[in-house]
Structure 1
Amino acid sequence: MASDTTDYSVGFEPADRLARDRDSIRRRFWIKFKRVMAKLPFAEDLLAAYYCAFDKETPRHVQVALLGAIAYFILPFDFVPDVMPVLGFTDDAAVLATAIRMVASHITPDHHAAARAVLARGLDPKTDVEDAG
């Protein structure tokens, strides 16, 4: 299992460390996603990757790759601060795009459908999206 983490890390120690804590990723993902979703041009891809990462049918090495990318997204600090206009999410998008390219065949139409459903519904605080998918 150590080779999975090494082979599919994002190469940024704080993100790699956070990726090992699935419960923390779930909690922190939805908090940040709700806060920034309107600014994310890659919101559907991010959600589809999230659903793939937590899908029990997804192979472990794919989960590790996606969890590392998602961990990088939710960290409060990264290489390009998210508060910077225009450039803020470019590093997050690059890390996510790389992870998705590595594992694209595992992100299914069901993962994309779940992502679109959340975006269409909006993120109502009363809706328990954390258990969706």
Structure 2
Amino acid sequence: MSTSDTGKSFDWSDLPGSEGDQAARDEARVRGGFWRKLKGGAARVPFAGDAVAAYFAAFDRDTPLRVRATLLGALAYFVLPVDGIPDFLPLVGFGDDAAVLFGALQLLSNHIKPQHREAAEEALRRAKGEA
């Protein structure tokens, strides 16, 4: 299935100028921290399924390049250890992460396919220790 994360980086050279550079940085940040953040407790936040589905869509080579770049930007914000509102604050810590991700998903929801959501459900079960 094309939603698997093969570990290979994308060729971002089709994006103009600094957009490609930023997308490459976001990709590296997401690859380096996404699953660690989920296993660290983020798998239990209400929007975790959307975050994981976005992850699978972002690394799906069938997803258009600009969509992948936008999803990776939102996911990179989710992964950042320091952001607008620290994640360790009860109830509100993931609020800014949810807002950024929700905005990206609203714009790009037609690119999140059923196979991305199915892969997300399975990954979340594993992350929560249910599989």
Q: TM-score range by the shorter chain?
A: 0.7 to 0.9
Aligned to 1:79: 84
Q: How many aligned positions are there?
A: 115
Superposition CA RMSD, Å: 2.3
Q: How high is the TM-score relative to the length of structure 1?
A: 0.77
Unaligned runs of 5+ in 1: 7-15, 128-133
Q: Kindly tell me: are residues 4 and 61 of structure 1, through their superposed partners in 2, closer, same or farther at Cα, counting changes over 3 Å?
A: farther
Residue among 40, 62, 65 paired with 1:57: 62
Conserved 8 A contact 1:4-1:64: no
Residue among 94, 99, 107 paired with 2:104: 99
Q: How high is the TM-score relative to the length of structure 2?
A: 0.78
Unaligned runs of 5+ in 2: 1-14
Q: Kindly tell me: are residues 5 and 108 of structure 1, through their superposed partners in 2, closer, same or farther at Cα, counting changes over 3 Å?
A: same
Cα drift, residue 121 of structure 1: 3.1
Runs of 4+ that moved beyond 4 A: none
Secondary structure of 1:20's match? helix
Encode CA deviations 1:70-127: one digit per residue, 9 max, x unaligned.
Answer: 0001111111110111000000000000000111100000000000111223356xx9
Q: Are 1:2 and 2:20 matched, yes or no?
A: no
Cα drift, residue 38 of structure 1: 4.4
Aligned to 2:115: 110
Aligned to 1:20: 24
Conserved 8 A contact 1:32-1:74: yes
Identity %: 44
- Distance in 2, matches of 1:85 and 1:98, equals 22
